[in-house]
Amino acid sequence: MPMSFSPLTRRQLLKVGVLGTGFSLSQHLQLNAEAGQPDSERSAILIFLGGGPSHQDTFDLKPKAPAEYRGQFDPISTSAKGVEICEHMPRLARRAEKYAVLRGITHNLAAHGLGTRYLMTGNRPTPVVQYPMYGSVVSREFPAASDLPSFVSIDRPVEGPGYLGPEYGPLSTGEKPRYGQPFRVRGITLGDGLTIDKYRSRRELLSGLDTAFQNYESLDDSVRGLNQFSEKAYRIISSPRARNAFDLSLEPDRETDRFGRHDFGQSVLLTTRLIEAGVRFVTVLLEGWDTHQDN
């Protein structure tokens, strides 16, 4: 009798512990495909607060704990039954039913870099294996359209692609967008005086050189990754959809004001445009929390 598979929901996936029994993500996707239920296209945004505000001052105040453990602020009720958060976050309190608070994540790695790597990859750091960041996994399993980057980091990567290779690393913007200033994305923004037609001519010349020399060298993984990134960059540069996604000047003033004209607001606005265009994973950095003295 032929076997049949029913689609797995995320909750069911967690219940049966499918990842812990040896199933890979690709096998899980195959099960869904055999069940006739294609995966819906989804995207993810990761906002990383470098040094982060303390959990007992934000989402886990521990009001009944001893004074030396609990936060100094008062908790307030939220729209999610039984969930209380900091009194200084009323807007998040009104939207609590739209997000989940994870209070059981911890580690004993006594270094910021190691802790960040653990958090961003889901694996304890080890010198033997370089694990990929979530965005790189998404980039490999759920790639964006050919004229869009699958994974973008504003303004620099939090972690890298690890063993997946450089072709699944993020496109780093190199800087944050600033209101009222032209935003140039390193690697895909054309220089002054360089048109698409001129760029295509240069691309054809480079392609000819690559063909002429391909028999004289053996490409390692890093070079192949760079070549694939170059191909991707060419498609992005040539795509009006991609160029428009990075162009914040196309946003109306009301949206600019809603997100804020500061660097972080503009970064999140850019993130929204990228997700709407079809980018699958975007990270945004907001650093400067780890002051050591002004806490």
pTM: 0.74
Q: Are 160 and 130 in contact (CB under 8 A)?
A: yes
Please give the pLDDT value at position 248: 93
Axis-axis angle for helices 25-34, 134-141 (nearest 10): 40
Report the pLDDT value the prediction gives residue 26, as an integer from 0 to 100.
47
Q: Divide the 295 residues of the chain into consecutive groups of 10 and give the mean pLDDT of each group.
A: 45 42 45 50 90 87 87 92 95 95 87 91 94 96 91 93 92 91 70 53 50 48 54 72 89 94 96 95 89 66
pLDDT at 201: 53
Looking at residue 40, its pLDDT comes to: 57
CA end-to-end span of the chain: 65
The closest of 233, 221, 117 to 171, measured between CA atoms, is 233
Task: Report d(CA 246, CA 241) in Å as an integer.
Answer: 9
Estimate to the nearest angstrom the gap between the alpha carbon of 39 and the chain centroid. Answer: 19
> What pLDDT, on the 0 to 100 scale, is given for residue 221?
54
